[in-house]
Structure 1
Amino acid sequence: MTITDAVTTGLGDRWREGARPQTTDEWLARAQEVADILAVDAVERDRANQTPHAEVQLLKDSGLVTLLGPRAHGGAGETWDTAYRVIRTVARGDGSIGQVLGYHYLWAWAARLVGTEEQIAAVEELYTSNALVFGGAVNPRDSDLVIREDGDDLVFSGRKSFSTGGQISDLTVLEGVLEGSDTHIFAIVPTAQDGIVFADDWDSLGQRLTESGSVEIRDVRVPWAAAAGFVDRVFRPLTYNTLNVPTIQLVFANFYLGIAQGALETASAYTRTRTRPWPYGGDDKQHATDEWYLLEGYGELASTLWADEALLDAVGGEISAVLHAPREELTPRRRGEIAVRVAAGKLRVVDDGLTVATKVYELTGARASASSVGLDIFWRNLRTHSLHDPIAYKKREVGTFVLKNEVPEPTWYT
């Protein structure tokens, strides 16, 4: 079943009318259903490079967009360790849509990261009750949006060269600096308004369906009361506020792992059905699945990804525990220890994932390089997003912790 089939034949209706997942395992099974649908025509959709409206509708129909939302408003009430595994599962079917979902989870949690209790309650009711999808115009490498005061309003203006979610989002997270100060302010606004103008210029090697192009913010007005975390126009900082970066970095690592797992699954299916044994090695086999070098190769790649999965699951449990704990309890030291563990997981899966996405060609054979097979999508997707920030700095953070027992200071990338 393709995505078009799933949307037009009422699969969403069947999901809504049927038994709703109630346990973590059932939500993971729902994620696998979505991944299976995405995988059917992932290559064709990647080639077409169209705005993924149907894919996002699939995420909404499945209930996955409200996985972290409160049960009181129709959400699943699941925790971040489940969300990470859902992201990974969806990415096995389509890395782009795994990224879209992961970024949505991060921005849906933005109110909890920096907002007041009243803002958290309002945002979570709004997005959960209506199954709204978040995007974010927050790219630290660009100049900050400029915010000017106009009475009881804040007015955001500027440009961001990346804005994942773009035209497929219902809500957009804005971040800027108040004019004449060094005060950073986050706000959540409706995406569909004249002041948010997407350039539709995302043209990258991979992750092509993430709607990550540039955006112009033209005098977008936000009431001062909607400035996240501000009370009487004053922000009260907590260490918890800085968890946005390790949280999203682990989102990255999980959809990277999902992409690598997808590559291995696709390659192994090809080898079982289409790869021919090598007839010139002096140890002729009847079937490719009996070739010793293929058995060794798949064994090595699978064991590597199993180890990466174990590490990411462990780190996901650690960060999930603090994300769901009272915000005031998080210390700078604990935050830093988690950031180091996230860095270790990310650097491991980037190196291992790129190896897998390359080595599968050696295990499937020359004919698997045909464009129609589509093995290239995995390497292109992983290579593209793994350049988000230099992996060398992740290695340095881990090394500094090991040798000096020092944790990294919070930055926009750590």
Structure 2
Amino acid sequence: MTNTEARATTFDDRPQPRTPDEWIARAGEVAAILAVDAVARDKAGATPYAEVKLLKDSGLVTLLAPAEHGGGGQNWVTAYQVIREVAKADGSIGQLLGYHYLWAWAVRLVGTPAQIEAVEEAAAKHRWFFGGAVNPRDGDLVIRDTGNTIVYNGRKSFSTGGKVSDVTVLEGVLEGTETHVFAIVPSDQPGIIFHDDWDNIGQRLTESGSAEIRDVHVDWAAAAGFVDKVFQTRVYNTLNVPAIQLVFVNFYLGIARGALETAATYTREHSRSWLNSPYERAVDEPYVLDIYGDLGAKLWAVEALADQVAVEAQRIHDDPDALTERQRGEHEVRVAAVKARATEVALEVTERIFEVTGARATASSQGLDRFWRNVRTHTLHDPVAYKRAEVGVYLLRAEIPAPTWYS
């Protein structure tokens, strides 16, 4: 039995948190459990069944679900903080939780009121864990209209959540049209084959391998946002990209903070001053103080910007029908700005901690390299140069980015 499995019962018979601070504290407890054997889990790269069960047992999976259905009733400002807390201990589990929040929220982005009510009630009741097979770099799944149902077929090279998910979000295009259709389907069915081929240097526990979709049937009534086979369009439908980009920002920042805190503990407890230094302790070395101060200041600055942009995003979520194309575009520019800075600072922090921990800190038993590997792996998701370009175009030409799968 792993540490995670043994300590999952910590939350049995305990009341659900009620306030944002209580939920963030709960996330801190989850992170403390994950941190104990994070290095060993990273090396093993095993499917994180126990870790997802911990997220369920702690209640974190229902954080955004309405309180009337038994969920946490919290907003995205709190959700992003929770993602950060979990990612401090384990970047993979922070990513899984963040993607879960986005896919669980997807029904609010594109669904009808009746679909939203049904999905959120079931998700909260059963503590569903969401995955998604919606990688836009691949060709779309092909959807065949058979009358009362639609049938999905195709392949996606990335499907984060994979085998640990209860439900999977699918997206495809109706044959002979340009109409995209989202649907939520059970993950455990013969028509979805997860290929167990995620073998990357970082984010090793995210179950992000490929998936094959074979004749997955969905009732037209469950096609998200469709009424009588016609999609109900609104600007808010396009907010999935800014929302998930902020998920990225926050688990990058969580990983960076985890790296900085882990390194600081190592420096205090194990690092030695340089041979010819006049100082007896590493914590008194001027260059060590300078580097920690530099990295800490940069990280705090980006965290503050991320918090500010999260508040801006929440204003949109609070009144989705009022969102205009201009407001959506200006929000995306702000998201692009914080994504660019978070990427650069997280990479710098996770790389430079070795300058202030020393040669012995590179031992594989310490696992300090996992922070950099995790950030480096996921920050290649989409080129950060395009994010900076969005900001530049807005500043120079007052133009906003058109909604795409990446903007």
TM-score category by the smaller chain?
Answer: over 0.9
SS of match in other structure, 2:221: helix
Which runs of structure 2 are paired with 1:343-354 in the superposition (5 Å)? 343-354=336-347
> What is the one-letter code of the residue matched to 1:401?
Y
1:279·1:285 contact (CA, 8 Å) conserved in 2?
A: no
**Aligned-pair CA distance for 1:239:** 0.4
Q: Matched residues in 2 for 1:106 and 1:5: separation? A: 28
Q: Matched residues in 2 for 1:248 and 1:324: separation? A: 17
1:21–1:118 Cα change, 3 Å: same
- The match for 2:300 among 299, 306, 310 is 306
Match of 2:137 in 1: 141
Which runs of structure 2 are paired with 1:10-409 in the superposition (5 Å)? 11-12=8-9, 14-281=10-277, 284-325=278-319, 327-409=320-402
Match of 1:413 in 2: 406
**Aligned-pair CA distance for 1:20:** 2.1
> What is the one-letter code of the residue matched to 1:4?
T
**1:293-316 Cα shifts (integer Å, max 9, x gaps):** 111110110111000100000001
2:159·2:209 contact (CA, 8 Å) conserved in 1?
A: yes
**Aligned-pair CA distance for 1:41:** 1.0
Tell me the percent identity.
62
Q: Matched residues in 2 for 1:374 and 1:312: separation? A: 27
Scaled by the length of structure 2, the TM-score of the pair is 0.99
1:79·1:324 contact (CA, 8 Å) conserved in 2?
A: no
> What is the one-letter code of the residue matched to 2:13?
E
Q: Matched residues in 2 for 1:177 and 1:19: separation? A: 44
SS of match in other structure, 1:109: helix
Q: Matched residues in 2 for 1:71 and 1:59: separation? A: 18
SS of match in other structure, 1:29: helix
2:3·2:37 contact (CA, 8 Å) conserved in 1?
A: no
Q: Matched residues in 2 for 1:249 and 1:52: separation? A: 23
Q: Matched residues in 1 for 2:80 and 2:36: separation? A: 23
Q: Matched residues in 1 for 2:12 and 2:238: separation? A: 36
**Aligned-pair CA distance for 1:95:** 0.2
Scaled by the length of structure 1, the TM-score of the pair is 0.97
> What is the one-letter code of the residue matched to 2:150?
L
> What is the one-letter code of the residue matched to 1:292?
P
> What is the one-letter code of the residue matched to 2:377?
T
> What is the one-letter code of the residue matched to 2:373?
R
**1:13-35 Cα shifts (integer Å, max 9, x gaps):** x4241232111000000001111
2:131·2:159 contact (CA, 8 Å) conserved in 1?
A: yes
Q: Matched residues in 2 for 1:36 and 1:294: separation? A: 27
**Aligned-pair CA distance for 1:6:** 4.4
SS of match in other structure, 1:154: strand
Q: Matched residues in 2 for 1:86 and 1:347: separation? A: 21
1:35·1:93 contact (CA, 8 Å) conserved in 2?
A: yes
Structure 2 gaps, min length 5: none
> What is the one-letter code of the residue matched to 1:67?
L
Q: Matched residues in 1 for 2:364 and 2:2: separation? A: 23
Compute the RMSD of aligned alpha carbons. Answer: 1.0
**1:109-147 Cα shifts (integer Å, max 9, x gaps):** 010000000000000001111111000000111010000
**Aligned-pair CA distance for 1:287:** 1.1
> What is the one-letter code of the residue matched to 1:363?
V
Q: Matched residues in 1 for 2:281 and 2:14: separation? A: 43
2:111·2:224 contact (CA, 8 Å) conserved in 1?
A: yes
- The match for 2:3 among 2, 5, 10 is 5
**Aligned-pair CA distance for 1:406:** 1.1
Q: Matched residues in 1 for 2:329 and 2:12: separation? A: 41
**Aligned-pair CA distance for 1:7:** 2.7
1:147·1:178 contact (CA, 8 Å) conserved in 2?
A: yes
**1:200-258 Cα shifts (integer Å, max 9, x gaps):** 00010100000000000000000011100000100121000000000000100100000
SS of match in other structure, 1:17: coil
SS of match in other structure, 2:2: helix
Q: After the TM superposition, list the runs of 4 or more consecutive aligned residues in structure 1 that deviate by more than 6 angstroms.
A: none
